[in-house]
Each structure stands twice: as C-alpha cells, then as structure tokens.
Amino acid sequence: MKLRTLIADDEELARRLLREFLKGEEDIEIVAECGNGFEAVKAINELKPDVVFLDVQMPRLDGFEVLELVESDAAVVFVTAFDQYAMRAFDAAAVDYLLKPFTRERFGASLDRVRARMGDARVALPQNLKQASRAPGEYLERLVVKDGPRVHVIPAGRLDYAEAQDDYVALHSEGKSWLKQQTISSLEAALDPRRFLRVHRSYLVNVERIVRIDSNTKDTWVAVLNDSSKIPVSRSGHLRFREIVGGA
C-alpha cells in the first residue's frame, strides 16, 4: 500500500523540490499540495494522508496551528528555514525536522524515519501532547479554533476568559464563545502568565478585563469583568491575583 502524502508550503519552488525528491519513491503517492494553512487543514481533514510535509511559516495559519486543528495521526515532517522551532516540532510529535536547504540524502533519512514510524502499531497521540510546550518566555499570540468547516482565529489580547468544560475549553471573546478541544491547564501553559490568570480550577481570565474582585462567601470571591461577566475566584486564585497586582 502506498503512503498517501500531502505537501504544505507557501512557496511553489519549495513544493516543487519536495515533489522532485519524492518522485523516485515507489511507495509514495502525493495526494495534495497546499499553499497556506487553511488549505492544509481542510485537505488533511478530508484526505487523511499518512504523511505530511509541513512548512512552519505560511499565510493564514502556521504549521503548528495546522496540527492543532486537524484530526489526524499522520507522520509529520516539518520543513522550514528556521531552526528555532525544532523543540516545538518534536513536542508536537513530529517525525522529523528538515532544515532548508537539505540534501537528497538528508531527505532520504527523513523518509526512512517516516517508514519506520508507519511500521509501528500507531498509537493516537494524546491531544495535550500536540499543544506543544514552548521555549521559556515565548507564548501564544493567537488561538485557533475550528468552527464547523471554518477556522476561527482569536488574538490572545481579545480573549476575555476561558472556562473548562470536560475535555473542552470554552473561549469567551467579545461576547461570543468558542469550544475547543483542549485542557484548561495546557491552555494556561501556552499563554503569557502575566496576562492570563488561573483564578479558579475551571477558569482562566485575561487580567486586563478584571474590573474588581468582590468577596462572595468566606473563602470565595467573584471577579467582575468589564463586560460585567462574573467569574468565580477560588482561594488560591485570589492569592495569585494578589501576587500579580502587587498585594493590593
């Protein structure tokens, strides 16, 4: 059986090079080529390829966001000119990380790793492994959510608060809310802790939105946001808040 392969890169020449290197491989069949992140998400979800060659910097969505949005256990090989994403790539369970430009031998080695991975009884990766940990001091600037067939992008600054709902988080932004399959803890880890505060086991709040904190019962509080939503604040959440605003 052939390995159904998808190429996602915004540069035509970069795609052409991959195509050329793959041409001689008997067991490879190219099923799609995509020039931006949206196309890649759509094609991966529809075609369920076995192998994805994925550029990091692309229009619309970057390679990591594409991986977050697809339901796929394809073997992913990142192909990029940037070396600083290698850690994130392996956290996102990539099979290999190819630095442009690369030799045919290096590409061959990458294909061998892909084939080795295919031989394994494949285990679906836990979702939170895909929401990659990142370099210290580097946080998500935007969140991507699948909204039916479409993809919705929320800049981090426009997120008001997030609420845990079983295996999902509800992201509240500008009066609307979006469901995303992710744990609130992994979302918390991905966002800048100076801007987003875990005020409660189930709530993560954009600090800038908090207008005041009212006392509720003896050990609980309520954070009032500027759109007057009320968020429960636990004892430890209240402590964390006081740490951030300097003990006031």
Task: Write down the least CB distance from residue 239 to another protein, Å.
Answer: 33
Q: Which of residues 14-53 bind another protein (CB under 8 A)?
A: 14, 16-17, 20, 35-39
Confirm or reject binding of residue 11 to another protein (CB under 8 A): yes
Confirm or reject binding of residue 135 to another protein (CB under 8 A): no
Q: Spell out the residues 6+ positions from residue 52 whose beta carbon is closer than 8 angstroms to its own.
A: 5, 6, 7, 8, 40, 44, 72, 74, 75, 76, 77
Q: Which of 171, 166, 163 is nearest to 146 (CA)?
A: 171
Confirm or reject binding of residue 139 to another protein (CB under 8 A): no
Cα–Cα distance measured from residue 95 to residue 168, given in angstroms and rounded to the nearest whole number: 27
Task: Write down the least CB distance from residue 129 to another protein, Å.
Answer: 21
Burial of 70 (0-12, 13-18, 19+ CB in 10 A): buried
- Which residue type is seen at 37? G
Residue labelled with tokens 């003896």: 218
Confirm or reject binding of residue 100 to another protein (CB under 8 A): yes
Confirm or reject binding of residue 57 to another protein (CB under 8 A): yes
Burial of 234 (0-12, 13-18, 19+ CB in 10 A): middle
CB of 203 closer than 8 Å to CB of 159:
no
Selected binder of another protein within 4, 60, 113, 195 (CB under 8 A): 60
Nearer to another protein, 143 or 164 (CB): 143
Exposed e or buried b for every residue in 14-37, given b needs 16+ CB within 10 A?
A: bbebbeebbeebeebebbbbbbbb
Nearer to another protein, 57 or 236 (CB): 57
Containing H/E element for 179?
A: strand 176-181
Confirm or reject binding of residue 65 to another protein (CB under 8 A): yes
Task: Write down the least CB distance from residue 60 to another protein, Å.
Answer: 6
Confirm or reject binding of residue 142 to another protein (CB under 8 A): yes
Selected binder of another protein within 4, 10, 42, 45 (CB under 8 A): 10
Nearer to another protein, 151 or 223 (CB): 151
Confirm or reject binding of residue 12 to another protein (CB under 8 A): yes
Spacing of C-alpha 193 from chain mean position: 17
Confirm or reject binding of residue 82 to another protein (CB under 8 A): yes
Using CB under 8 A, list all residues that contact another protein. 10-14, 16-17, 20, 35-39, 57-62, 65, 81-82, 99-102, 141-142, 153, 155
